[in-house]
Structure 1
Amino acid sequence: MDERSKKLLKTLIERYIVEGQPVGSRTLSKFSGLDLSPATIRNVMSDLEEMGFIASPHTSAGRIPTPRGYRLFVDTMLTARPLERAPEFSAELAELTGQIQGQLGGQQFGPQRMITAAAHTLSNLSHFAGVVMTPRRAQSFRQVEFMRLSDKRILLIIVSPEGDVQNRIIQTDLAYTPGQLIEAANFFNSHYAGMSFDAVRDHLRVELQDLRRDMSALMQAAVEAGSSAMAEDNEQVFISGERKLLEVEDLSSSMDKLRRLFDVFEHKTSLLQLLDVSSHAQGVQIFIGGESQLVPIEDMAVITAPYGVDGQIVGTLGVIGPTRMAYERVIPIVDITARLLSSALSQS
């Protein structure tokens, strides 16, 4: 592609992002800065369409970008300045820094609070949905406790190595006394503390014959409940601003698009996969629907960046929006939020 074609494609995508309408040759002539005849522009547009970078809706003589066109745009034509170097975004930088540092800066706030605040901030500043995948945690536990709620209902309290607490209610066939529950917790902690619940399950298969029947039943129930709690806790994704996407016509213009959009947030499987892939990359990543199988909707784009603790990558955050978004504005927002969250978590 020659420089003239690149310039016209860049202009077309920028005007489409701003206006949301198919872009015609007259608009390209006005905004491209190139001294070209309408016929020449139409010929270039025809070539770009044949190459798959733009498409022509049936209802208009203008063109719109395709996912392939957006990909070329963000990879080779986009200049995303850091917010601190963009005067027009200085107010948003101050708001972003204030929100993140104000809510994440003190040790009185735990990691979960920081992550929730980061998701809200991403949504508020981008006007789309903000998403943060929580850090992957070790599946091991530091200690467990059993608390009797009623004759056959027991509260299992799990304390992780980081000091986080998970609670699960266990329904039992037998009635346990407080003394028996203390005995069970002491056995559990003295023999298995520091292991994962899956490892404890393997040990119990061998050691069950050495335990009394009442204790073995309680141990098995605790392992199943604890394993389930750790698995759920390890797949948390915080999403803020999903409803803002309902206001984006590109994503909500049909029932089929709406259905797929709600599936993304309800099931989260594809979202988790995408965020997990992003955690293995350096810096900001851009996924565009239609050219990335990780994005389930053609008109959707996801901008992500990994965040870490003490230099170690522990999770991913990002913005979910339409392919027709102001990438040069959203990319720095995602980038600086990841850096501020990393700093806050490292200091907490």
Structure 2
Amino acid sequence: MHTTIDNHNLNERSLQLLKALVERYVQDGQPVGSRVLSKDSQLNLSPATIRNVMADLEDMGLIRSPHTSAGRVPTVSGYRLFVDSLLTVQPVDKKLLNKVNSEFNASMEKDEVVEKASRILSEVTRMAGVVTLPNREIVQFRHIEFLKLSNNRILVIFVADEQEVHNKIIHTDRTFSAAELQQAANYLNSIYAGQSLAEVREAIVQDLEHNQHQVNQAMIDAVTMAQQVFENTSHEDYVVSGQTNLMDFSELSNMERLKQLFEAFNQKQSVLHLLDKCQHAEGVQIFIGEESDYEPFQECSLVTAPYSVEGQVLGVLGVIGPTRMAYEKVIPFVDVTAKLLGAALKSR
């Protein structure tokens, strides 16, 4: 997902200077000069000595000098070394933790809980909060009904888990009678009820491929209709809040860059692909700048964590902001919010 920077060639002085530089730049947003760094690093080194160390860090690709300033700023590699080896994570304040936990009202539906988590991430970090909707792969199929409409259209009503009712209109190659539709529903309910949607979809494909010579036409018709119903149930969406917060950061305020970011949020497909990578990894994941391999996020970092119920990962949540973010605060807050969201969903 990212390249780990080997810090064995850096002595303690160089690492401490890099840490001080990153922290100062995150705080002020201005290139950091040697005089400022000599005060922050607490190493009692002269600005001249610090300039030499900074030159070495620049040769290693860990910092760079913007054209308009004599100071230095971290590169993606510098941020990566800082996050992996030098970061001192701050625990989430207990008052904030209790406040966030209280935001998940017991009367909320599942989708409302997900939306609330997205808003909480945005409001606390002052960046963009994103949460994927719970993965429908693990939802259990309970019951299905087919109702005849005009022009070979059929309204499908299927129940997932205990209370989720979904409607979908499908088109068929021929006209079915009400009796045929009832027979199809009875067959599907008797065969697939209690299985997850992923299992149902896989079984349907296998039934169509292998059992056509062993079952009658009515069963084939039932499975064919069911395939239309369940073929897209695994599609995930996400909720994003606070995109306009990104306009407050000077490094993202370029109108063309903002346009790319907002278009990415609206198109969703590539962002979902990126979030999917995070969902299938353990713990907090961090993409810094070009590590995402996604052009609109070249100046951004994405900090994510999966959320789960009873050990089953349902989705992923995270914060999108500039590479110049307070990682020591954002990382633990994303992690704890994922745990609180999982707990809130479990209670439902």
Aligned match of 1:19 in 13, 28, 41? 28
Give the counterpart letter for 2:134 in structure 1: P
- Is residue 98 from structure 1 mapped to residue 102 from structure 2 by the alignment? yes
TM-score by length of 2: 0.83
Instruction: Report how far residue 247 of structure 1 moved.
Output: 3.5
Aligned match of 1:9 in 15, 18, 21? 18
**Distance in 1, Cα, partners of 2:225 & 2:247:** 43
- Is residue 307 from structure 1 mapped to residue 307 from structure 2 by the alignment? yes
The aligned residue for residue 123 of structure 1 is 122
The aligned residue for residue 7 of structure 2 is none
Given the superposition, is the C-alpha separation of residues 198 and 311 from structure 1 closer, same or farther in structure 2, using an over 3 Å criterion?
A: closer
Instruction: Report how far residue 67 of structure 1 moved.
Output: 0.6
Given the superposition, is the C-alpha separation of residues 340 and 139 from structure 1 closer, same or farther in structure 2, using an over 3 Å criterion?
A: closer
The aligned residue for residue 65 of structure 2 is 56
The aligned residue for residue 319 of structure 1 is 319
**Distance in 1, Cα, partners of 2:139 & 2:41:** 56
- Runs of 4 or more, structure 1, over 6 Å off, are none
The aligned residue for residue 217 of structure 2 is 211
- Is residue 242 from structure 1 mapped to residue 251 from structure 2 by the alignment? no
- Is residue 220 from structure 1 mapped to residue 219 from structure 2 by the alignment? no
Instruction: Report how far residue 64 of structure 1 moved.
Output: 0.8
Deviations 1:43-62 (A, max 9, x none): 12111111111100111111
The 8 Å contact of residues 307 and 338 in structure 2, kept in 1 or not, is answered as yes
Instruction: Report how far residue 75 of structure 1 moved.
Output: 1.7
Given the superposition, is the C-alpha separation of residues 284 and 226 from structure 1 closer, same or farther in structure 2, using an over 3 Å criterion?
A: closer
- How many residues end up aligned between the 2 structures? 332
Give SS of 1:9's match.
Answer: helix
* Higher alpha-carbon deviation: 112-121 or 62-71: 112-121
**Distance in 2, Cα, partners of 1:3 & 1:219:** 66
Give SS of 2:246's match.
Answer: helix
Aligned match of 2:44 in 25, 35, 38? 35
Given the superposition, is the C-alpha separation of residues 71 and 220 from structure 1 closer, same or farther in structure 2, using an over 3 Å criterion?
A: same
The 8 Å contact of residues 33 and 72 in structure 2, kept in 1 or not, is answered as yes
Instruction: Report how far residue 115 of structure 1 moved.
Output: 1.8
1:207-286 → structure 2 map (5 Å cutoff): 207=212, 210-211=216-217, 220-228=224-232, 230-232=233-235, 235-253=236-254, 255=256, 257-286=257-286
Given the superposition, is the C-alpha separation of residues 307 and 191 from structure 1 closer, same or farther in structure 2, using an over 3 Å criterion?
A: closer
Give SS of 2:306's match.
Answer: strand
Instruction: Report how far residue 222 of structure 1 moved.
Output: 4.1
The 8 Å contact of residues 96 and 125 in structure 1, kept in 2 or not, is answered as no
Instruction: Report how far residue 259 of structure 1 moved.
Output: 4.8
Give the counterpart letter for 2:11 in structure 1: D
Instruction: Report how far residue 140 of structure 1 moved.
Output: 6.2
- Is residue 81 from structure 1 mapped to residue 90 from structure 2 by the alignment? yes
The 8 Å contact of residues 152 and 175 in structure 1, kept in 2 or not, is answered as yes
The 8 Å contact of residues 158 and 167 in structure 2, kept in 1 or not, is answered as yes
Give the counterpart letter for 2:234 in structure 1: A
**Distance in 1, Cα, partners of 2:290 & 2:205:** 44
Instruction: Report how far residue 272 of structure 1 moved.
Output: 3.0
**Distance in 2, Cα, partners of 1:36 & 1:307:** 46
The 8 Å contact of residues 146 and 154 in structure 2, kept in 1 or not, is answered as yes
Give the counterpart letter for 2:333 in structure 1: I
Gaps of 5+ in 2: 1-9
Deviations 1:88-114 (A, max 9, x none): xx4x334322213xx2xx3x4343322
**Distance in 2, Cα, partners of 1:262 & 1:66:** 24
Give SS of 1:283's match.
Answer: coil
Given the superposition, is the C-alpha separation of residues 163 and 300 from structure 1 closer, same or farther in structure 2, using an over 3 Å criterion?
A: same
The aligned residue for residue 199 of structure 1 is 203
**Distance in 2, Cα, partners of 1:328 & 1:72:** 14
Given the superposition, is the C-alpha separation of residues 122 and 295 from structure 1 closer, same or farther in structure 2, using an over 3 Å criterion?
A: farther
**Distance in 1, Cα, partners of 2:267 & 2:149:** 33
Given the superposition, is the C-alpha separation of residues 339 and 217 from structure 1 closer, same or farther in structure 2, using an over 3 Å criterion?
A: closer
**Distance in 2, Cα, partners of 1:93 & 1:163:** 30
Given the superposition, is the C-alpha separation of residues 149 and 252 from structure 1 closer, same or farther in structure 2, using an over 3 Å criterion?
A: farther
Gaps of 5+ in 1: none
1:145-160 → structure 2 map (5 Å cutoff): 145-150=145-150, 152-160=152-160
Give the counterpart letter for 1:30 in structure 2: K
The aligned residue for residue 188 of structure 1 is 188
**Distance in 2, Cα, partners of 1:80 & 1:7:** 16
* Higher alpha-carbon deviation: 259-268 or 39-48: 259-268
Give SS of 2:240's match.
Answer: strand
